[in-house]
A = this chain, B = another copy of it.
Amino acid sequence: MPDREYPTALGASSLKSITLLGQDLAEDVMGQVSFGELAFWLATQRRPTPGETRVFEAVLAALADHGFTPTAIVTRLTYLSAPDSIQGALAAGLLGGGSRFLGVTEDCGRFLHDVLSTVDGELPADDAGWDALALETVRSAREARKFVPGLGHHVHKEGDPRTPRLFRIAREENLFGPHLSLFEAIGRVHPEVLGKTLPLNGAGVCGAALADLGLPLELLRGFALLARTAGLIGQLAEELRHPVGNDIFLSVDLNNRSVAPDPYDQSDGGRHG
């Protein structure tokens, strides 16, 4: 068998040059391309416009850090336990970026995309059209007893400040596309169906904005993780100087209460305990 070849448009090196995405890394990327722009370019293999970069970076800012989330606590505790491995502390934190805490961005982007894919013919051209589609969307979700991803927030019950802000930025850059339009309309019409007003949350609107930027839906969670990497470095930097990890650990360990084993019984899913 002849040796395989592995094609890539990403980094390549030779004796004298380094290229990335077909560009001369040293001359055309370093000092010329911002980090957000580069991240977008790497993910899509096309250079974003300045407007696209601005919306993308606004999303990254919105998702970078939310204080003492489970992922932040995990990074601090892992650093406490294994200070020799910064990569381990960051990786451990990112592993919390799953369905529950970081997943809304991806779920919301995919949900909106799926709805848009079912539209026969033209997409709506005005608010009334989007409202009609949104109404149908919320009704279907309710009938299927499903939540609409991105609708509701456990803290910002009267509105998540990131949402109108991202709408505004996307409009300023002429990047307010169908995903954001549908999401905004869901915000307008859902009370009619659900009988109460829920906020459009910031993680959700980020998913809509990323989808409108044409980014791969399979990787929306990846962008949330990129943003979070910067946030976790911030958490580590603060932990190095003003540590709380050991206090968190002790607050749990010293308050443990030893109880008798509760043998597992598969037949009831172990839920009798």
Contact = CB atoms under 8 A, between A and B. Distances in A.
Interface of A: 1, 3-22, 24-27, 29-31, 33-36, 38-39, 42-46, 54, 56-58, 60-62, 64-74, 77-78, 80-92, 94-103, 155-162, 164-166, 168-169, 172, 202, 211, 214-219, 221-223, 225-227, 229-231, 233-238, 240-242, 244-245, 247-249, 251-266, 269-271, 273
Given A39-B35, A99-B82, A66 B8 contact: no
Given A45-B261, A61-B33, A68-B256, A162 B25 contact: yes
Contact of A96 (B20, B92, B100, B252): B92
A241 B270 CA distance: 7
Contacts of A86: 97, 218-219, 221-222, 225
Given A8-B67, A12-B256, A34-B36, 17 more contacts: A7-B257, A9-B258, A9-B261, A13-B156, A18-B162, A30-B169, A38-B60, A45-B237, A46-B261, A46-B264, A74-B78, A74-B92, A78-B96, A80-B96, A87-B88, A88-B96, A225-B229
A15 B251 contact: no
Given A67-B8, A262-B9, A87 B85 contact: yes
A8 B259 contact: yes
B73 A9 contact: no
Contact of A258 (B8, B24, B236): B8
A238 B61 CA distance: 25
A269 to B, nearest CB: 8
A17 B6 CA distance: 32
A229 B11 CA distance: 14
A222 B233 contact: yes
Given A91-B88, A222-B90, A233-B42, A6 B257 contact: yes
11 contacts: A6-B247, A7-B257, A13-B67, A13-B156, A15-B156, A26-B62, A30-B58, A42-B237, A86-B97, A86-B221, A219-B236
